[in-house]
Amino acid sequence: MAIFSLSLLPARGAPFPGARHPAAPAAIILLEPAEGRATAPVMIKRPLIAVLNGPNLNMLGMRQPEVYGRATLDDVEQICIQAAERLDVAIDFRQTNGEGELVSWVQECRNRAQGIVINPAAYGHTSIALLDALLAVELPVIEVHISNIHRREDFRHHTYCSRAAAGVICGLGVRGYAMALQAMTDMILDENDR
């Protein structure tokens, strides 16, 4: 019977450019035979979920707490890190104010991530380019909005991104991110079981 030892290694390969914490690895669990047996190591990679945030979300917690609450973007990242640890997935958490950069990040997810959780912020309401990227990448997408966009101005009621999304979570505050990670993990595991 083979005996294996467990070690956690940082994932190899270039970090996702623009990551808030480029050093933070997608963990690889390396199962290697103990006692120098000849069996090849078994690599089990955690699924990677990209958590992408659009314009002005870097200002969370600084203004409009009555709409978005008091949590900062750093708090949201911590919520996502804790959820990811609980769910045994890796995340790449990012924010940009640039539409082109957001589109590029979505494109980079192809062949790299297993799913995308995105708060597109205002680009959700305006950007066909972002929708096209989300459709092209052929990954499961969950759209998150902190506020209930349907209780707000008419122009916030429609989002282009929703056409690419398996589901949309809105109005539940920043806990919507943890819910989205839970749902995305379930979807990835379901897909891997097929």
Tell me the catalytic residues: 68, 145
What single-letter amino acid sits at 58?
N
CB of 84 to ligand CA2, least distance (A): 20
Q: Are 118 and 139 in contact (CB under 8 A)?
A: no
Q: Cite the annotated binding site for substrate by residue number.
A: 119, 125, 132, 146-147, 156
CB of 124 to ligand CA2, least distance (A): 6
Contacts of 135 (CB under 8 A, 6+ apart): 163, 164
Q: Cite the annotated binding site by residue number.
A: 119, 125, 132, 146-147, 156
Contact positions toward ligand CA2, by CB under 6 A? 56-57, 59-60, 62-64, 68, 119, 121-122, 145-147, 149, 156
CB of 129 to ligand CA2, least distance (A): 17
Distance in angstroms (rounded) separating the CA atoms of residues 91 and 76: 13
Count other Cβ atoms within 10 Å, centred on residue 183. Answer: 17
